[in-house]
Amino acid sequence: MADTFDAVLIGAGHNTLAAALHLAAKGWRVGVFEQAATAGGAVKTGEYTLPGFRHDWAAMNLSLFAGSPFFKAYGGELARHGCEFVPVDRPFCSSFPDGEWAGVSTVGDETMDAFRALSPGDAAVWQELTSRFGAEAPHLFGLLGSEMKLRALAYFMFKTLRAKGMTGTLDMGRFLLSSPRAWLEETFAHPHIRALLGAWGMHLDFAPDVAGGAMFPYLEGMAGQAFGMVIGKGGADTIVKALVAAITARGGVVETGASVTRILREGGRATGIEMAGGRRITASRAVIAGTSPKGLRRLTGDTAPAFDRAMDSFRHAPGTMMIHLAMDGLPDWRAGTQLQRFAYVHLAPSLDQMARTYAQAQAGLLPDEPILVVGQPTAFDPSRAPEGKHTLWVQVRMAPGSIAGDAKGEIAARDWTQAAEPFADRALSILEAHAPGTRAKILGRRIVIPLELEADNPNLVGGDQVCGSHHLSQHFLFRPARGHADGSTPVANLHLTGAAVWPGAGTGAGPGYLLARKLAGK
């Protein structure tokens, strides 16, 4: 029957699509149903400003996907369906108000030269860290790729103890519990180098003083130095288009514009879904919800009290505002033309400023000095814009989903429809200060407020692009709740996947692939 599948998947984000492809490869008949008009969730690309200018809607960096176990298994198949990447040899840098800069590059001694210009001592520390990264990486990546089950963790601990000994293992545990500031201030002397790396914590809701966040500045710095970055040829949606094509080629179905209103249950088991308009679709083996925890609750109603409380209380990170710019040219960075050769330019001047911005957004205030992540994808992929033109991908962090006030006392609006323009102008003024003349190069602009991100993809609650805080109480064994880090629910045959499930946010497809391997018996 047309509306009967082995597995029905709700949402066409990259995690559910990865799960669907693996299950299809194992012989399951899969159906994926997405409420939006386009598959991809936060990973999609469109001409949001002017014709010929292709902008990544939310996610731009595909390094985690390209380096993932899922892509290792299915990369050849996806390539046959058009998936193509562009390597980036200068992944990120930071511009500072005093005209200085620092960056991480895979090109020759560029990173060391940039660090040495700021602090010879920090350059020596960086060299030591990079020399040890090959030995440390298997332990950290092993943890991040491990199933969050006691048996798997016990095996991970056994391997770590055998490799590092008790002292080394305890040091690693202390590092995993440390805040970004604690590790950065212990490790580096120059505030610019601390800020350069600390900005990465903000990508995953780890402000400088949040415990458990030290790992992310370290990993992004080391991985950027070792591997660079990867973006999608023509846009991040290259992975989504290839996933959809591969699933379809294997007999699966991917429907867009298909809103699911209810998960059907019978005798304590999930049996399918009901669509807007009443259409029912049967799942004989699994219903997989690629939703936020609160979104799952809306589809299931009551299940088990403890699980329902955990889903209802799942905490989201502050939101993000996106500014997509069609440009006549790249910004003329005050710190030097070399910044035009980096994929990301962070405008996050200090750990103190990041902490203040985060606290303001958490309090519902529009930050007085938001952090900007300025993506320059056309520096590496000119196919995204007409010849000689460019796109800028500007991520404004942090931004409250609901506005309680303005930390700077200038914006009176409490509704995003009125606050969007003045807050975007505040962000662009910061960019202008670092790159004078940028405003004059803007050919087209599209502001995407946090509520629009959520309307397009309900998983991005309040514009939270990581679908839930990664703080320690909601990470590892506790993502999204104790006992359910594998995506299981109290309802038989019903599973949760996506960024709210371990190993969490990013484009690595870990939650979807781990779940599909469990269901298919690897």
Angle at 14 between CA 289 and CA 16, to 5 degrees: 25
How far apart are the C-alpha atoms of 393 and 348, rounded to whole Å? 16
pLDDT tens, position by position, for the chain (522 residues)?
469 999 999 999 999 999 999 999 999 999 999 999 999 999 999 999 999 999 999 999 999 999 999 999 999 999 999 999 999 999 999 999 999 999 999 999 999 999 999 999 999 999 999 999 998 888 888 888 888 777 767 767 777 888 888 888 888 889 899 999 999 999 999 999 999 999 999 998 999 999 999 999 999 999 999 999 999 999 999 999 999 999 999 999 999 999 999 999 999 999 999 999 999 999 999 999 999 999 999 999 999 999 999 999 999 999 999 999 999 999 999 999 999 999 999 999 999 999 999 999 999 999 999 999 999 999 999 999 999 999 999 999 999 999 999 999 999 999 999 999 999 999 999 999 999 999 999 999 999 999 999 999 999 999 999 999 999 999 999 999 999 999 999 999 999 999 999 999 999 999 999 999 999 999
How far apart are the C-alpha atoms of 29 and 169, rounded to whole Å? 44
- CATH code of the domain made up of 318-456: 3.30.519
pLDDT at 156: 73
Say what the pTM is: 0.95
**H or E segment at 180?**
helix 180-187
What is the distance in angstroms between the CA of the first residue and the CA of the last residue of the chain? 27
User: What residues does each domain of the chain span?
Assistant: 4-83+235-314+467-520, 103-227, 318-456
Single out the residue of 387, 86, 88, 379 nearest to residue 234, CA to CA. 86
Residues 4-83+235-314+467-520: name the CATH superfamily.
FAD/NAD(P)-binding domain (3.50.50.60)
pLDDT at 1: 44
Helix (H, G, I), strand (E, B) or coil at 431: helix
Half-sphere exposure of residue 90, counting CA atoms within 13 Å on the CB side? 23
In order, the DSSP letters of 6-36 are EEEEE--BHHHHHHHHHHHHTT--EEEE-SS
Distances (CA, A) of 158 to 163, 166, 265, 341, 496: 9, 11, 41, 43, 29
How far apart are the C-alpha atoms of 99 and 29, rounded to whole Å? 57
